[in-house]
Amino acid sequence: MNIAGHLSYWFTIFLTIAGLYIVIARGNLVKKLVGLAIFQTSVYLLYIAPGKLIGGTAPVISEQFKLYSNPLPHVLILTAIVVGVATLALGLALVVRIKEAYGSIEEDEILKQDENPPSNPR
Amino acid sequence: MAPHFPILQVVLPLIAAPVMVLMRRGAVAWLLAVAVSWAALVMSLALLAQVADGGVISYAIGNWPPPWGIEYRIDRINAFLLVLVSLIASVVVIYSRASVAAEVPREQHYLFYTMYALCLAGLLGITSTGDGFNLFVFLEISSLSSYVLIALGRDRRALMASYQYLIMGTIGATFIVIGVGLLYLMTGTLNLADMAARLPGVNDARPVLAALAFLTVGICLKLALFPLHLWLPNAYAYAPSVVTAFLAATATKVSVYVLLRFYYSVFGESTVFAALPMRDILLVLSLAAMFIASTVAIFQDNVKRMFAYSSVAQIGYITLGLSFDSATGLTAGIVHLFNHALTKAALFLLLGGVALRLGGVRFENIGGIARVMPFTAFGIVLGGLSLIGVPATVGFVSKWYLVLAALESGAWWIAFLIVLSSLLAVVYVWRVVEVAYFREPDATVAKLKEAPLEMLIPSWLMIAACIYFGLDSALTVGGASQAAAALLQGVR
């Protein structure tokens, strides 16, 4: 198997797994979101890397340029970045609300609080 | 205007959402939400009538011809889904005014309806689009707005439920993008119909199978197939009543549609079922969902959470229908998708009435509720009977076709298991009946009044639909079997 030729895929896979691992292994709600962001970002690479041809230029109609890179993956990923930012912002906003309601952002402490609810559950 | 219906029904709620934010008035926002929901219903009925003869509507957005531009393609199956989603939305929105007034702080009302309109736009968009990446974007629009809707619940556990749903939902959506991305790399197109045409010419099958795996796991996370259902019970239990009813009836059903679309219209039946053990995988997971989730439902102390687990079990019946990989099985799956949406919408709407009067729906608090809220309680009994699958309810129609499909495939033991798992539904539905009818109401319950009419009428409309389509299944089964036939032909 041509390992060096698929270098960008190896980076992508490493980031995907690392991000997913953080989401699963960490109990801190903010750290989980960081993992989620890494996981989402790795997918951007999956789209962008194959769109680049070595020596390829932007698709400009000109006599000088014969080799073009596909611009579509970039456009798709611009959209995906917006979605990723929105998800992260909403996730962090939820963490702020959780911190206000529970006084903690550690998953195990929060779950423990709900097992024995305080005297005045809202 | 009629040629633009495929896009208008998505764009109207999408435009209504920012308008609601600008108006900042709860009452105006509600009126707008009613207007766009009913407009979407009218348009989706018109679309269903147009494709009833087996035709396909192809709408090129911005007049860019497919496969270069984004295409909206309406055929029998997604027209059926569009009607289901907009019908549920139209009924739920009428109900929402009183329920939201009680459960959501007043200054957040307009934001609630904004999120509701966005969620509706997302769900309708997923259903009508014929473009793989556009599907992901709409999926995220509906998901992000539903996280917000869930977090609006009164209980602080709603926040944690919403957070967990956000994590799981984003992982699912990202898996779907990976799948679509791999397909794009192999075929060079994002248009689903074009993709389907080019896939047989792809030389290297391994990335395609990887795409299938990513898409399956991603979509199954969104449709809450056992064991990927962990986000669902808390999200349903702690969300505002309106949100639970709306999401339970539409969000998971639209995800089932996405699964069907990818399996039958993009990959093709032969890739998914003949070459891979997908039948066995779906069968085992569906049976596990039917039995384990139903059993867990029996031991819940919150009625809403109990019905949430029952939803996981009922999704198992839908995927069980798919796992037979036959025309009857697919028909059963699609019919149950419709029937379960009606039943669960009715049940969660009625529970919302109890929550409005009592403030919660825990078993220990609702003893004797049938004395003071007879219409609500009787509605819950009828909805429960439909969950069990008693004749003359829609639940019976779905189970009948599921059993037929099981017998047709020669697996009589599955037919036996379907009936056996229905007995578990008898147990959990009976718990509600026992508590609501045969206990003495305590002092709090005795002072309650029946739910207001503007909530009772939409709920009973759903119950009436459960009975009507249980007695006369020609419309639903006819539509489902046509959709199943179209899917099996690979028509797209």
HSE, side-chain direction, 13 A CA sphere, residue B380: 28
HSE, side-chain direction, 13 A CA sphere, residue B75: 21
Distance CA A37, CA A23 (A): 9
Instruction: Work out the minimum CA distance from B174 to partner chain A, whole angstroms.
Output: 6
Distance CA B306, CA A120 (A): 24
A117 pLDDT above the threshold of 60: no
Closest CA to B140 of A29, A83, A112: A83
| Secondary structure (3-state) at B422 | helix
Question: What would the two tokens of residue B157 be?
Answer: 């556990």
Instruction: Work out the minimum CA distance from A59 to partner chain B, whole angstroms.
Output: 16
- Out of A36, A40, A94, name the one closest to residue B162 (CB): A94
B17 pLDDT above the threshold of 90: yes
CB atoms within 10 A of CB B180: 26
- Out of A40, A90, A97, name the one closest to residue B166 (CB): A90
Distance CA B236, CA B157 (A): 11
Q: Which residue from A minimizes the CA distance to B139?
A: A83
**Contact indicator for B492, B129 with CB cutoff of 8 Å:** no
Instruction: Tell me if B151 and A36 make a contact (CB, 8 A cut-off).
Output: no
Considering its fold, how many domains does chain B have in total? 1
Instruction: Tell me if B174 and A47 make a contact (CB, 8 A cut-off).
Output: no
**Contact indicator for B284, B375 with CB cutoff of 8 Å:** no
**Contact indicator for B256, B337 with CB cutoff of 8 Å:** yes
Q: For residue B287, is it within any domain?
A: yes
CB atoms within 10 A of CB A92: 13
B289 pLDDT above the threshold of 50: yes
Q: For residue B116, is it within any domain?
A: no
Question: What would the two tokens of residue B259 be?
Answer: 């699964």
Q: For residue B485, is it within any domain?
A: yes
Range B291-303 burial, b when 16+ CB lie within 10 A, else e? bbbbebbbebebb
**Chain B residues 169-198 with CB within 8 Å of chain A:** 170-171, 174, 177-178, 181-182, 184-185, 190
What was the pLDDT predicted at A70? 84
A120 pLDDT above the threshold of 50: no
Q: Which pLDDT tens digit goes with each residue over A20-67?
A: 999 999 999 999 999 999 999 999 999 988 887 777 788 888 888 778
Q: For residue B227, is it within any domain?
A: no
**Contact indicator for A32, A26 with CB cutoff of 8 Å:** yes
Phi, psi of B74 (to 5 degrees): -110, 120
Q: How confident is the model at residue B492 (pLDDT cuts 50, 70, 90)?
A: very low
Strands (E), B151-203: none
Q: Which pLDDT tens digit goes with each residue over B248-258?
A: 999 999 999 99
A81 pLDDT above the threshold of 80: yes
Instruction: Tell me if B133 and A95 make a contact (CB, 8 A cut-off).
Output: no
> Out of A10-19, B270-279, B342-351, B372-381, which region has the weakest mean confidence (pLDDT)?
B270-279
Averaged pLDDT for residues B195-220? 89
Averaged pLDDT for residues B6-17? 93
HSE, side-chain direction, 13 A CA sphere, residue B266: 26
Measured at the alpha carbon of residue B233, what is the angle toward residues B227 and B237, in degrees to the nearest 5? 175
Domain span holding position B306: 277-492
HSE, side-chain direction, 13 A CA sphere, residue B252: 36
Closest CA to B202 of B185, B216, B177, B178: B185
Is residue B226 within 8 angstroms of chain A, CB to CB? no
Instruction: List CB contacts of A36: < 8 A, sequence separation 6 or more.
Output: A19, A22, A23, A87, A88, A91, B167, B170, B171
**Chain B residues 6-65 with CB within 8 Å of chain A:** none
Closest CA to B233 of B254, B255, B252, B260: B252
| Amino acid in position B160 | M
Distance CA A32, CA A92 (A): 10
Averaged pLDDT for residues B122-143? 94
Distance CA B404, CA B388 (A): 17
CB atoms within 10 A of CB B11: 16
Distance CA B70, CA B193 (A): 11
B441 pLDDT above the threshold of 60: yes
Phi, psi of A57 (to 5 degrees): -115, 180
Question: What would the two tokens of residue A3 be?
Answer: 């390992």
Distance CA B76, CA B61 (A): 20
C-alpha distance from residue A111 to each of A107, A116, A117, B159 (Å): 6, 9, 10, 12
**Contact indicator for B424, B291 with CB cutoff of 8 Å:** yes
What single DSSP character describes residue B55? -
What single DSSP character describes residue A6? G
**Contact indicator for B344, B336 with CB cutoff of 8 Å:** no
Distance CA B351, CA B349 (A): 5
**Contact indicator for B180, B150 with CB cutoff of 8 Å:** no
HSE, side-chain direction, 13 A CA sphere, residue B133: 25
| Secondary structure (3-state) at B153 | coil
Q: For residue B138, is it within any domain?
A: no
| Amino acid in position A109 | E
DSSP output for B335-350: HHHHHHHHHHHHHHHH
Q: Which residues of A touch B177 (CB under 8 A)?
A: 43, 80
Q: For residue B414, is it within any domain?
A: yes
Distance CA B143, CA B252 (A): 11
Question: What would the two tokens of residue B98 be?
Answer: 């009183």
Q: For residue B472, is it within any domain?
A: yes
Is residue A76 within 8 angstroms of chain B, CB to CB? yes
What was the pLDDT predicted at A121? 43
Instruction: Work out the minimum CA distance from A101 to partner chain B, whole angstroms.
Output: 6
Is residue A43 within 8 angstroms of chain B, CB to CB? yes
Is residue A95 within 8 angstroms of chain B, CB to CB? yes
> Residue B449, class by beta-carbon neighbours within 10 Å (0-12 exposed, 13-18 middle, 19+ buried)?
exposed
Phi, psi of B70 (to 5 degrees): -80, 135
B22 pLDDT above the threshold of 50: yes
Compare B182 and B226 and report the one with higher pLDDT.
B182
- Out of B162, B167, B178, name the one closest to residue A43 (CB): B178
Q: For residue B265, is it within any domain?
A: no
Helix pair angle (B453-471, B76-103), 10° resolution:
150
Q: Which domains does chain A have, with CATH numbers?
A: 4-115 (1.10.287.3510)
**Contact indicator for B357, B446 with CB cutoff of 8 Å:** no
Closest CA to B85 of B338, B261, B344: B338
The three-state DSSP-derived secondary structure of A11-80 is HHHHHHHHHHHHHHHCCEHHHHHHHHHHHHHHHHHHHHHHHCCCCCECCCCCCCCCCECCCHHHHHHHHH
Test the A interface: residue of B119, B137, B157, B234 with most A CBs within 10 Å: B157
Instruction: Tell me if B151 and A114 make a contact (CB, 8 A cut-off).
Output: no
Q: Which residues of A touch B157 (CB under 8 A)?
A: 114
ipTM given for this complex: 0.91
| Amino acid in position B89 | A
Q: Which pLDDT tens digit goes with each residue over B327-363?
A: 899 999 999 999 999 999 999 999 999 988 888 888 8
